[in-house]
Structure 1
Amino acid sequence: MRIYQPREELRPYVRYYWVLESDEPFSVLTFPIGCPQMIFHGRSPLFIPELSSRQDKFTISGQVNFPAHIASDGDTEMIVAVFYPHTIGMFIDTPPSAFYNQEISGYDIGNKQLNLLADRIFDCADSEKAISLIEQWLTARIIPSLNIKRIGTSLSALLRSPSTSVGNLAGIACLGKKQFGRLFSEYVGMNPKEYGRIARFQRALRMMQLGSRDYADIAYSNGYSDQSHFIRDFRQFSGMTPKQLTAYQTPYSDLYTVPV
């Protein structure tokens, strides 16, 4: 897998791009990562057993609250743009709340310019050129707004401390609690309380990734009421207990790791 960093003007909105080409079949367990993605499949799309379906050739992946496997038949060539939790809606003119717990075809949201971009990507034989086309398209659609800034500021606080109350997050965003909840759900794709649980899970994963196996300390450090609460949440989002996951694969937090 190759990682590409976005150009400077896109860095507040796009976390990174990754490219994978593989002729080997594989199956990978994935978790809620807290970030929506645009996925372009140059060859065979991935199969998701939990949804009993394949991704579309051009897929938009929304916020999810469940673990899933992704499987390749050995004919994989994909380019993925990973966005910050609250920014993809600015580019596609569709609120992320519309594809909560879904992976939808990008062709189905009725954005003709986005469809043309996808067609150009599939006609492009070089992945770096394809990413350049994506970057040109995204850069032309940057429209900063006060609400994006407000939700972004509250998200930064939430990621630092996932147990921060919705009331405090609303205050950070300079919004009323009800208005904040509505805007957060619209921009991020799930409500702030649920997203806080995803962030807390990912933060725990990061501690495990860095070598911690003191689950009582992980629970305390991430605001869980006790170790049992941590294990229950962890099982919901990963399908396993922390100990089982560690035996199954190396823990890795997508949300709290910046790949290079």
Structure 2
Amino acid sequence: MQYQTIRPSARFRDIVRFYWVLESDQPYTHHSMADMCPELLFHYNGLFDELLPDGTRNASFSAGIHGQCQTTRKFHVNQGFGMFGVYLYPQAIPLLFNMPTSELTNQMPDLGTLLNKVGQQLEEKIALAIHHQQRIQILEDFLEQRLSRQDNVQPPVFRAIQAIIENQGMVPVKQLAQDHYLSTRQFERQFRQYAGFSPKIFSRIARFHAAIHRYGPDAPSLTQIALDCGYYDQSHFIHDFREFSGEHPKTFFSGRSGATAWMD
């Protein structure tokens, strides 16, 4: 399996964290975990089914958006596949789609539903592209067109959302509200609208992501990971990790979890 990330052009770095590509010539089960950021997904080779808790399968979209989520899901493809993703900051949703980010929380609409004919045309262009750089150019042309339709006035809470991500969830909410000249109530209302979660849940998921990025052959002990990522004790770390990944951290960091296959 091959996974790579690609930085966006400077013009789009306030809304796109990175582009990513995941390819394999083998069947694969993907473990989708909680994430504070939404992403655009394009399946240019192969199509996944969602594995539902009751044991049935539901065909996933070929192109769409996976909204920010606090739930876990599993997807399976029976053949080799290729996926192209656009990992967004939450504030990209109102700027690109003229809708509150909160409307996409735990949702996975297909691109045609979200953008009608424009979405269908974008999906077709991505599918027909002959290499990843061409896909990026198609995406950035699309982003430019969408941004040009907006006034691009960005409220202060956008910077607060970015600050939580950059500081891996270890910023006091009250301090963020003060830094951005908002009352705590105003801040929390705007934050939920533009990030899709309350500041508290968003920060918890950001800490969880800081933890899973410690995975690797040189990963420290679970106790050290918990301390490094701002958990006040190991039981708190285990509770959040189980909630957001569906697994005990010992299983995840063992190297034998299916959830880490794309990272190995």
Q: Give the TM-score, by structure 1 length.
A: 0.84
Q: Match of 2:92, as an amino acid?
A: T
Q: Distance in 1 between matches of 2:249 and 2:180?
A: 34
Q: Secondary structure at the match of 1:42?
A: strand
Pairing 1:56–2:61 present:
yes
Q: Distance in 2 between matches of 1:90 and 1:154?
A: 14
2:210 to 203, 213, 220: 203
The aligned residue for residue 141 of structure 2 is: 136
Q: Secondary structure at the match of 1:186?
A: helix
Task: State the Cα deviation string for residues 183-209 of structure 1 (Å, max 9, x = none).
Answer: 222222222111111011112223344
Q: Secondary structure at the match of 1:98?
A: helix
Alignment check: 8 A CA contact 2:40 2:65 kept: yes
Deviation at 1:166, TM superposition (A): 2.5
Distance verdict in 2 for CA 1:227–1:126, change over 3 Å: closer
The aligned residue for residue 185 of structure 2 is: 178
The aligned residue for residue 240 of structure 1 is: 247
1:96 to 90, 101, 111: 101
The aligned residue for residue 18 of structure 1 is: 20
Q: Secondary structure at the match of 2:210?
A: helix
Q: Which residues of 2 match residues 99-138 of structure 1 at below 5 A?
A: 99-138=104-143
Q: Match of 2:153, as an amino acid?
A: S
Q: Distance in 2 between matches of 1:234 and 1:184?
A: 23
Deviation at 1:123, TM superposition (A): 4.0
Alignment check: 8 A CA contact 2:31 2:258 kept: no
Alignment check: 8 A CA contact 1:48 1:55 kept: yes
Deviation at 1:31, TM superposition (A): 1.9
Q: Which runs of 5+ in 1 are unaligned?
A: none
| Identical pairs, percent | 28
Q: Which runs of 5+ in 2 are unaligned?
A: none
Q: Match of 1:165, as an amino acid?
A: P
Distance verdict in 2 for CA 1:151–1:75, change over 3 Å: same
Alignment check: 8 A CA contact 2:214 2:225 kept: yes
Q: Secondary structure at the match of 1:207?
A: coil
The aligned residue for residue 49 of structure 2 is: 47
The aligned residue for residue 146 of structure 1 is: 154
Deviation at 1:110, TM superposition (A): 4.3
Between stretches 222-231 and 125-134, larger displacement belongs to 125-134
Q: Secondary structure at the match of 1:211?
A: coil
Matched pairs, number: 253
2:235 to 212, 215, 228: 228
Q: Distance in 2 between matches of 1:39 and 1:158?
A: 21
